[in-house]
Amino acid sequence: MQRYFLDEMPRTETFILPEDIAHHFVTVLRARIDDEAEFVLPDRQTIWIAKVAELTNQNAVMQVVATMTPQVELPVKATIILGLSKGDKPDYVVQKATELGVHEIIFVETEWSVVHWGMKSDKKLARLEKIAKGASEQSHRLEIPTLRYIPNLQALDLPTDAHKVVAWEESAKQGERSALATVFHQLKPQSHLVGLVGPEGGLSEAEMGTLSQQGFIPVGLGPRILRAETAPLYLLSALSYALELN
């Protein structure tokens, strides 16, 4: 069943679809009378299942038939910090990380980033936000991840109680195996995990020093060296397994 996010709470359980949702549901998907869809309410906890009660010109009047409050989000808040990567890698990571339950993605320019957003950051984020929203709908989430950009690692402003790890290829090369698992064991419901992944060229020793001062723990993600777009997805997958399937 198709899922959509409502930004405003309908006044009644019979409501007219917002224009953008109506375009997709009615025009693109060709919804008909009694076709149903799911609508995430602005509280991002409640879902209305509603059916088409009436079709007008390119729009639909919906009637609520059921209410749900499913638990599908990760039990902890997961923030991923990504060193800027080239090409469509940010698009890919945003889409897949959203499907895996990320709460927030922060893009940051690092010493060895070959891409520089600068004044283009707002435009870049606007496009990526559309990708995140589509991925949230497709994966039937209750939340849409927050996306933001910062110019450097010094601009990071994270909660003092967050559990912070940085994927460090030297840890992998040295066979480090326990640091990430140790951090996962420390997590409790509603904890905040922050995972940082560098760009294609990795992170410099100076940047690792900066991160260490900010409380980041270097961790290995297995014995293999992962690409910049693979590492954050590995981290989120491991987190899901540790907290939701174990």
Find the CATH number of the domain harbouring 204: 3.40.1280.10
173 has a pLDDT exceeding 70 = no
- Do 49 and 81 belong to one domain? no
Position 167 scores a pLDDT of: 93
First-residue to last-residue Cα distance in the chain? 28
Range of the domain at 63: 3-68
Burial call 172-207: b when 16+ CB within 10 Å, e when fewer: beeebeeebeebbeebeeebbbbbbbbbbebbeeeb
Nearest to 25 by CA among 11, 36, 41, 13: 36
How would residue 224 be classed by pLDDT, with cut points 50, 70 and 90?
confident
For the chain, the domain total comes to 2
pTM for this model (two decimals): 0.91
Looking at the fold, whether 48 and 82 belong to one and the same domain comes out as no
Provide the Cα torsion 224, 218, 167, 220; round to 10°.
20
For residues 83 and 62, state if they share a domain.
no
Q: Which pLDDT belongs to residue 175? A: 62
Q: For 49-64, what is the mean pLDDT?
A: 92
| Residue 11 tokens, joined | 């006044």
Contact 143, 100 (CB under 8 A): no
pLDDT-derived band of residue 246, with 50, 70 and 90 as boundaries?
A: confident
130 three-class SS: helix
At 20, which CATH number? 2.40.240.20
Task: Identify the domain boundary among 68, 98, 119.
Answer: 68
Query: In the sheet that 217-219 helps form, which strands lie side by side, from edge to edge?
Result: 146-150, 104-108, 77-83, 192-197, 163-167, 217-219
Mean pLDDT of 191-196: 98
**57-88 tens-digit pLDDT:** 778 999 999 999 999 999 999 999 999 999 99
